[in-house]
Amino acid sequence: MPLSHELENRIRAEFPKYPEKRAVLLTALHFVQEEQGGWVAPDCILAIAGLLEIDPIDVKEVVSFYHMFHDHAVGQSHLQVCTNLSCSMRGARGLVRGLEEILGVRPGEMTPGGEFSVEEVQCLGSCGSAPVVQVNNEPFLENVALADLKSLVAGLQTRRRAAVGE
Ligand code: FES
C-alpha cells in the first residue's frame, strides 16, 4: 500500500477545512513528500487521486508544475539552480557546472548514498537577486557566486553530519 493508514488519516483530517476534497491536493502532496523520502512516487499519485476523487493526471500535473514537489527521488540536500533568463544572464549555467564538478553529478542525478542532488529549475520568483539557488524548501540563496559553492556544499555536509550525530 503506497500510503500508510496514518498518512491517509492525516490527509482525510484536512477535508473538513476545505469546500471540496480536491482543494486538499497541495496539502496532501506536502504531507506525502515529507513522510515518503522527499518525493511523490507514482503509486502515491494514484493513491492521492483516489483519496481526493480526482483524476491521477490532475495530481501529476501539480507535481510537475511546482518545483517544490518531485516526481523522482532526490538527495537529502536537493540543490535547485534557477536557470531561467535573469539567472542565466547572471551566471547560473556556471553554477550548474560548478556543482557538477564539486558533486560529480549532473542535473537530475543524485550522489551515491543520496546526500545531494542537483536540478535546474524555472524562475523561482526572485529575479532581482539572480542567480538564485534553493536547497530543499529553505529560503533562497541569492546572488550566488561560483566561489560560494564549495562552502555551501561543505556547510550542508557539516549540518547533515551533526543531524545524524557523526
Ligand atoms: S530567473 Fe531566476 S529567479 Fe527569476
Task: Report, as an integer, the average pLDDT of 68-90.
Answer: 95
Q: How close is the Cα of 67 to the center of ligand 1, in Å? A: 13
Statement: residue 1 has pLDDT above 70: no
Helix axes 42-52, 56-65, angle to 10 degrees: 120
Ligand 1 nearest-atom number relative to CA 123: 4
Statement: residue 166 has pLDDT above 80: no
Given pLDDT bands bounded at 50, 70 and 90, which one contains residue 59? very high
pLDDT reported for residue 150: 95
Which residue in this structure is represented by grid cell 488519516? 9
Mean pLDDT score across all residues of the chain: 95
Answer for the pair 61, 49: CB distance below 8 angstroms, yes or no: no
Statement: residue 36 has pLDDT above 90: no
Task: Report, as an integer, the average pLDDT of 84-103.
Answer: 97
Q: How close is the Cα of 93 to the center of ligand 1, in Å? A: 12
Q: How close is the Cα of 20 to the center of ligand 1, in Å? A: 34
Q: How close is the Cα of 39 to the center of ligand 1, in Å? A: 23
Task: Report, as an integer, the average pLDDT of 124-151.
Answer: 96
For a mutational test of ligand 1's pocket, the pick from 87, 120, 122, 144, i.e. the residue with the most ligand atoms closer than 8 A to its C-beta, is 87
Task: Report, as an integer, the average pLDDT of 80-94.
Answer: 97
Task: Report, as an integer, the average pLDDT of 107-121.
Answer: 95
Helix axes 149-164, 92-103, angle to 10 degrees: 50
Going along the chain from its start, the domains and CATH numbers come out as 5-65 (1.10.10), 77-164 (3.40.30.10)
pLDDT reported for residue 163: 85
Task: Report, as an integer, the average pLDDT of 87-96.
Answer: 98
pLDDT reported for residue 158: 94
Task: Report, as an integer, the average pLDDT of 32-45.
Answer: 92
Decide which of 165 and 152 is more confident: 152
Statement: residue 6 has pLDDT above 70: yes
pLDDT reported for residue 165: 83
**Long-range contacts, stretch 133-142, CB < 8 angstroms, 24+ apart:** 133/79, 133/80, 133/81, 133/82, 133/95, 134/67, 134/79, 134/80, 134/82, 135/77, 135/78, 135/79, 135/80, 136/38, 136/77, 136/78, 137/68
